[in-house]
Structure 1
Amino acid sequence: MTNQEIGTNFKENIFKAWQKLILGFFQTSKNNLDPNNAEDLAKIKHNTIILLFRFFFMLYREVKGFLDIKNYHNLHNYSFNQLKLEIANEKYKNSLGTTLWYKIKELFSLINRERDSLYSYDGDLFDPTKNTSLKEWEIEDSYLSDAIDLISRIRDPDFKKLIFVDYSVLKFRFLGTLYEGLLEFELIHSKNGDLSLIKNRGKKKRKGIFYTPKEIVKSIVEDLLKPIVKQKLNEAKHNTQTDSEALLSIKILDNAMGCGYFLEEAVEYLAKELNTILLKEKNCEESSVIDSPTLILAKKKILSQCIYGVDLDDIAVELSRMMFWFTTLSQDCSANMLRNRIKVGNSLVGELFEEPDILYSLQQKYIRVKDFKESHYFERFRTIADMKTAITYGNLIEHEKYKELYKEILNCNEETWVQIKQLDIIKRIRQISEEKLFFHWQLEFPEIFFEIDSFGKQRNGFDVILGNPPWASVRGKHSAQMFDDYDIAYLQNKFPENTYMPNAYEYFILQSLKLLERGGRHSYIVPDRLAFNESLQYLRIIMLDQYSLTSLIFNPPFPNIMADTLIYSLTAIKQVNSYKISVRNYKNEPVLINSKYFQSARETIFSFFRSIEIFKAIKAIEAADTIKMDQIAETTSGFGGKSNLITKVRVNNQQIEVVKGLNIGRYFLDGKLYFEFKKENITGRTTDIKKLGAKPKVLLRKTGKVLYSAYDETGIYPEQSLYFLYNFKAKYSPFYILSLINSSLFKFYYIEKLVTNRDSTPQLKKIHLDRFPIKEIEFTKSEMIIKSLSKKLIEFYESFLNNGDLAKYESFINRQFENDANNPIKNDVLHGVLVYFAQKMSDYSSGKLKYKSIERKLSLTNKLIDFLVFKLYNLNSDNVNTINEVLTERGI
């Protein structure tokens, strides 16, 4: 059976096995587990997941050949393979004893022993001190054998019988995906006494956990590593490094690693590069880096020198260590080595020292003290870091007390140090640090910050930081799923840039920027709100001004999530001059955009464009001496009313006339609805009756590929599926705004720049409506000239309606404004003429004017409005052609 076939049919078996283990432990009275106790439910869920993955480890390990199962003694005494054969033969089927359980525990013990033992693995998964419950609990053989059988055998659809699963074809990533799926379930004890695993579909969302498709992981890794490998190899030409040494100097971090998918892909990519290099070096001379340049050994070298990861989830971290351990296919790849690089910890909570005296002392001790991490010096620096973190984490220590103590700790003798450790405040801080997994980067990975590189310079960070950080609100109704009050207070003090509604991914971005080596590269996949949300403007400015933003990739395919996504990449180099940024939708070719375009935009918005022609047309529109929509009119949403109370016919005399999006046509209102406007019927949005009843106003649909707009002077109330514009500034006519919104120019600008969810449920957000560039009119005092020109254009319009010769009308207008592209009189005239035409369109559309050929007049006037708007914005023929082609392509 293929990997896909096994994966598809196997998950149900694994789920059943999990249920068997849970029930088995609860049914054993000696375990003293209470199904009504939430703590016991959480403990049993956690430990049974660990037990499952211990089984998977043994199944993988034996099929990889790390136990010589051909050896009779090993086969019959220490082989999980032998146990699953006995189980398949129903040896333990009805056993009420625990013989099987104790055999299994003996295997666990063997695996956890020293490296020279039979089945050695010194990772945390089998460490009894990490999982004391599994050491103390018991489970009857009948439950345990059923569970093991379920994960060992699967029904073959062709032969209709149970066959053993071939773990050699089951990719290890399957286990990571499986674990992430198990986390969605809650263990519930129902009122009737049943234990049930209930899928909580919103759990991952509340915790901000969204697992990245392999295609995206591969894309991010290759886009980041390809240029830095090239950079390192170029640098090697100017120093004494070999190419292999240069490549192995790359340090890569995923600081929210989960099960390690990004790091796995990085290992694969770099190992192939290293293997190629080593083969070339081997042909020239013996490599000093590695004796046998094979891909497996290349992976081991990459793992031991290049890869770093951190996550709060201890099981996910251990699974990633297992994955890398198996990746090398080598028993001499130490899990302890992986433990020193793939760590459990809170990436966001901890210290990055900046005090010169601490940094100097720490660097000197790291360089001079053998086994620094095992020394009392390391313990001292960890205590100092814990104290500094505790200043704002729980306010456990005052800043002045911290300064006093850290200086004493740096310089005191051993006797005084022992006394300091016994202080109540120090013991309390250490306890909190261990519970909350404080992570002090310079202590956990000192080689990243204090080693000297091949140029004689001290390192000061990672070369590459990548991944998919949690997308979780720090405040709000779901924040408690990931953050407690101490976390929130600490993080808002550490990252004070956004105090409105910060999200976890913001903090991970800011932390990553601090951890990057100069010239290092960084890339995350995050919600596309990063590109336009007003509260994230500060972050966009940091990326543009203090770093080099290299690329923006919008809408990469990300199944099963509602949010649109964005992949950004940057380099830790501050550019003096403007620079080019590669911007694209995931499906399209990149467009190179000057950084000044984003820097000069209001609120520094990031946008993408499907082609260079579209970008040029957008730029031309924005360059036409424009002002933003919210500078000439107030904009807001309609009222929120209970939908079942909005009726097509009036059902009582208290109901008033209202309109929804479905009532808005192009330039006209298509019918009315009825609603009793009172407090208990209102669900939110705009409730101010002065605003809702404003006269005149322009009504605009919120959703759709095309946003129709109409004029209202009756004061009818708009519902929340509409925006409305009112309180128009200066001499701007609402009909002028109406003509622009209903023009091809607005359609194009909306669908190519302003739209949200373009390919699913396209909609216009208020912040984007407010940014629409309106051609500014100076309203000159040359009234006689303006009236004369306006009259000419309007009179010619009447003849145009009769003959329909648009080219002739265009030629006439061009003659009137020849060499006057930016003449304020031209703009003033066109404002007035567009107002007239928009009024005509409203009258034609609403039936106020009776014409036999109304459709023809609507079409001709619409074309004329488009031409005048293009003229008003000074668009050239290429821009106009692009706009028309885009609208035709999209069927608009």
Structure 2
Amino acid sequence: GTLRVTPFNGRLFAPASAPLADSAVVDDRLVRDALLSLTTRAGREKRERISYADLGVEQLGAVYERVLDYQPRVEANRDVTLTPTGRRKATGTFYTPRGITEYLVRRTLAPLIRDRSPQEILAIRVLDPAMGSGAFLVAACAYLAHAYEQALIRAAVVAAADVSPHDRAGFRRTIAQRCLFGVDLNATAVQLSRLSLWLSTLAADRPLTFLDHHLRTGNSLVGASIDDVLRQPPSPRGGSRPRLAALPLFALDDLSQRVSRAVRPRLTMATEPDDSVDVVRRKERDVAAIDGSAGPLAGWRSLADLWCALWFWPRDRPAPDRRAWAALADAAAGRRSDLPSRVQADWLATARAVAGRERFFHWSMEFPEVFFDEDGAPLRQPGFDAVIGNPPWDALRGDAGSTDDRAEAKTSAHALTAFARSSGCFALQGDGHGNLYQLFAERMLQLVRPGGRIGMLAPAGLASDSGSSPLRTALLERCGIDALLSRRPRGPKFHAVSVCDRHRGSIAFPTRALCRTPLSCPCP
């Protein structure tokens, strides 16, 4: 007979992704030891086989958390030791147990899918702006796929008895391709999220689901919108809030056309089934073309990178002043500039290096279909239907991690604090040391559409920290409490609150620690 092997196009071991896999020579004994350790463990009398049948996809997050804890180091005698790095705490990366992710997803998404048609469910857009290994997106995929199946049954498109496991895998693929969005600062986390969703949507006769258009690497907290880059930035060393530039930085007449050229192919990517490797590879080329230096929004992205870079400018390099900003912005956008060519080239090179290091993420340019229609016009209700996740909770001090990383971390923390306070992109941050959860909470409020929902794990500081006062005031003034959960586990006290925004929909803040008897009151 013929052995049929489906080309999954996973890229995990593709030459471009893992060049050492083709060139490295590994001793057979080392491979044997590795396979033995992965498949068996020491028992009382002999080694026992390890079963991975019950290993959940979301548990990749626990593996990722452990990987961040250690750095392999080859000693002089060629022994390999694992050295603690502190990167997990420094990056605020913590595995979220399955029970909590499923609770949060169910609580956040349930009102959005109630009595919805199949097409309305496929139109839901769910974002995790700090996705880690993708646990929340995996849970959202399963929840929305089940809701989609029930909607098809209600609409008499399919009969309940006729839905097969193959059909359900297809539903999960469709949901992952259309509905799920994720961002993370760590490229390894993005790869793991992609892998988690691949395993959740695997079909024996199909290539792996194309997800590159919706799972992105970047800093969710640092980026600029098109409106932002039309404002004069303040001094990168601090100063007053940005003011409007006296003159437009460059012509806006073709902006809608450029946005449309990015939105249309991205919408096609989301709706076209990934039935063959050829389709997936064409989508890869399309994404590369949109994101490349000749892409429709390349000039705006370069300008946004420059705008953000001023807060993260190296202290040993001269930075452009306000008078040079307009000319430099023209150069970044590919227009004529009055600056000396050498000065211009040096500043633009520095801005590109800073943008690459900090991984600025410009939301309306990375996911333009969430903010603009096919013609490039702003949507009446832009934003995501649901924003969920467990973002970092760490204070912006840069005192975690190894000694070697601490100085760089402090510099980045100070720059992020300055950006949050003076860029005009955040308005709900208090005095004192900022905390990442405060910035993420405000960013989630900015990204959710009117009538959308937010589900976020938050510490007790949301209800008590002085630095959270502006954010807390905004939530209390705009929102009614839907449910309040709290618990005092062994260790610090955690809170969880689920609130219903009177103006922009529902906002849920469940916590890492859940109690059995929540307090609740209806939304007004």
Give the TM-score category using the shorter length. Answer: 0.7 to 0.9
> Contact 2:389/2:455 (CA < 8 Å) preserved in 1?
yes
Whether 1:271 and 2:194 are equivalent positions in the alignment is no
Code of the residue aligned with 1:509 in structure 2: it is A
Q: State the Cα distance separating 1:443 from its structure 2 match.
A: 1.6
Q: 1:569 to 1:590 in 2, by over 3 A?
A: closer
- 1:144 & 1:421 partners in 2: Cα distance? 54
Residue 179 (structure 1) aligned to one of 49, 64, 76: 64
Give 1:280's aligned residue: 154
In the alignment, what sits opposite 1:196? 81
Find the counterpart in structure 2 of residue 471 from structure 1.
Answer: 393
Report how far residue 426 of structure 1 moved: 2.0
Q: Distance in 2 between matches of 1:292 and 1:281?
A: 20
Q: How far 1:376 sits from its partner (Å)?
A: 3.3
1:592 Cα deviation from its structure 2 partner: 2.7
CA displacement, residues 492-535 of structure 1 (integer Å, 9 cap, x when unaligned): 33246334121111111122122121222112112112111222
Structure 2 residue 191 is the aligned partner of structure 1 residue 318: yes
Q: 1:582 to 1:130 in 2, by over 3 A?
A: closer
Q: Secondary structure of the equivalent of 2:170? A: helix
How far apart, CA to CA, are the structure 1 residues paired with 2:92 and 2:486? 19
Listed as ranges, the matches of 1:772-851 within 5 Å are: none
Q: Does 1:151 align with 2:73?
A: no
Contact 1:392–1:493, Cα closer than 8 Å, also in 2:
yes
Give the equivalent residue in structure 2 for 1:791.
Answer: none
- Is the alpha carbon distance of 1:591 and 1:176 closer, same or farther for their aligned partners in structure 2, counting shifts above 3 Å? closer
* Structure 1 match to 2:471: 539
In structure 2, the partner of 1:255 is: 129
- Three-state SS of the structure 2 residue aligned to 1:552 is strand
- Give distance in 1, aligned partners of 2:135 and 2:21: 28
More helix by percentage: 1
Query: 8 Å contact 2:130–2:391 — kept in the other structure?
Result: yes
1:287-306 matched pairs, under 5 angstroms = 294-306=167-179
Deviation at 1:540, TM superposition (A): 0.3
Distance 1:139-1:205 versus aligned 2 partners, 3 A rule: same
Alpha-carbon deviations, 1:104-150, whole Å to 9, x = none?
A: xxxxxxxxxxxxx9644244x33444555555544322222321232
SS at match of 1:279: helix
Q: 1:390-445: CA deviations, max 9, x gaps?
A: 121216544443433445665849x99xx999933223322222232221111211
Q: Which runs of 5+ in 2 are unaligned?
A: 231-247, 266-285, 423-428
Offset, 1:476: 5.8
Counterpart CA distance in 1 for 2:454 and 2:167 is 29
Partner of residue 309, structure 2: 390
Structure 1 pair 282/139, CA: closer, same or farther in 2 (3 Å)?
same
C-alpha distance in 2 between matches for 1:318 and 1:471: 23
1:556-594 deviations in Å (ceiling 9; x for gaps): 86xxx7322223344554389xxxx99997222424399
In the TM superposition, residue 486 of structure 1 has moved relative to its aligned partner by 3.6
Match of 1:876?
Answer: none
Quick one: percent identity of the two aligned structures?
26
Q: 1:488 aligns with which of 414, 435, 438?
A: 414
Q: 2 CA distance for matches of 1:553 and 1:343?
A: 32
- How do 1:282-431 and structure 2 match up within 5 A? 282-283=156-157, 294-330=167-203, 337-355=210-228, 361-368=254-261, 372-373=290-291, 375-394=294-313, 396-407=319-330, 412=335, 423-431=345-353
Q: Which of 96, 108, 124 is equivalent to 1:224?
A: 108
SS state of the match for residue 38, structure 2? helix
Query: In the alignment, what sits opposite 2:92?
Result: 208
Of 552, 569, 574, the residue aligned with 2:484 is 552
- The alignment status of 1:586 with 2:515, answered yes or no, reads yes
Larger Cα-atom Rg: 1
Q: What amino acid is aligned across from residue 465 of structure 2 in structure 1? A: N
How far apart are the structure 1 equivalents of 2:126 and 2:342? Answer: 37
Q: CA separation of 1:166/1:587 partners in 2, compared to 1, >3 Å: closer, same or farther?
A: closer
**What runs of 5+ residues in structure 1 fail to find an aligned partner?**
1-69, 75-116, 234-242, 596-892
* Stretch of structure 1 that moved more, 517-526 or 133-142: 133-142
2:426 matched to which residue of 1?
A: none
Match of 1:450 in 2: 372
Q: In 2 relative to 1, CA 174–397 (structure 1 residues): closer, same or farther, beyond 3 Å?
A: same
Given that residues 452 and 459 in structure 1 are in contact (C-alpha distance below 8 angstroms), is that contact kept between their aligned partners in structure 2? Answer: no
TM-score (norm 1): 0.45
Structure ranking higher on relative contact order (CA contacts 8 Å, 6+ apart): 2
| Paired residue secondary structure (1:526) | coil
Per-residue deviation, 1:354? 1.6
RMSD of the alignment, in Å? 4.2
- Deviation (angstroms), 1:208: 2.7
Q: 2:438 aligns with which of 499, 506, 522?
A: 506
The amino acid across from 2:491 in the alignment is M
- Letter of the 1:378 partner, please give it: L
Amino acid of the residue matched to residue 328 of structure 1? T
Residue identity matched to 1:121: N
- The residue number in structure 2 matching 1:848 is none
* Corresponding position of 1:516: 448
Structure 1 pair 181/458, CA: closer, same or farther in 2 (3 Å)?
A: same
Could you say which residue in structure 2 is the equivalent of 1:735? Answer: none
